[in-house]
Amino acid sequence: EEKRIREFYQSRGLDRVTQPSGDDTVGGDPMGLPYSTFDHSRAHYFRYDEHVSLCLEKLRLPQPPDPLCPLQQKYVRCSVRAQIRHLRRVLCHRLGLPLQHVQILFDSEPLPDHMTMKQLWLS
């Protein structure tokens, strides 16, 4: 049983919570249970959010050929709480462009930086 318990915690990257010795409840909650030693700084904050999948494509304009290479991965999956500003930063990083050279459009309308993916999806 101890081996199964160790494997359970190791598979999830958690530290095992042990009962304090004696009746000392220092470091525990009022019910006498110890606090978890889970390190929240390593947890992914948006892990259990709803997700949205996007297909990012360049706007095709009748201009001379664009010197930019196409994205290697044009599909992006992100939290519904992600904002347009986050997508712009990712695109700028992937394309090696300054932030002012990237604009995200939907139906030929520029999207505001503060708009979330959930707001976009609902609209």
Q: In the CATH scheme, what is the code of domain 49-58+71-122?
A: 3.10.20.90
Per-domain residue ranges for the chain? 49-58+71-122
The residues facing 77 across adjacent strands are: 53
Is the CB of residue 38 less than 8 Å from the CB of residue 15? yes
Q: Rounded to two decimals, what is the model's pTM?
A: 0.54
Closest to 91 measured CA to CA, from 121, 123, 113: 113
**Element of type H or E holding 76:** strand 75-79
pLDDT single digits (tens) 37-74? 555 555 566 667 788 888 877 766 666 555 566 667 77
Q: List all residues 6 or more positions away from 27 whose beta carbon is below 8 Å from its beta carbon.
A: 20, 34, 35
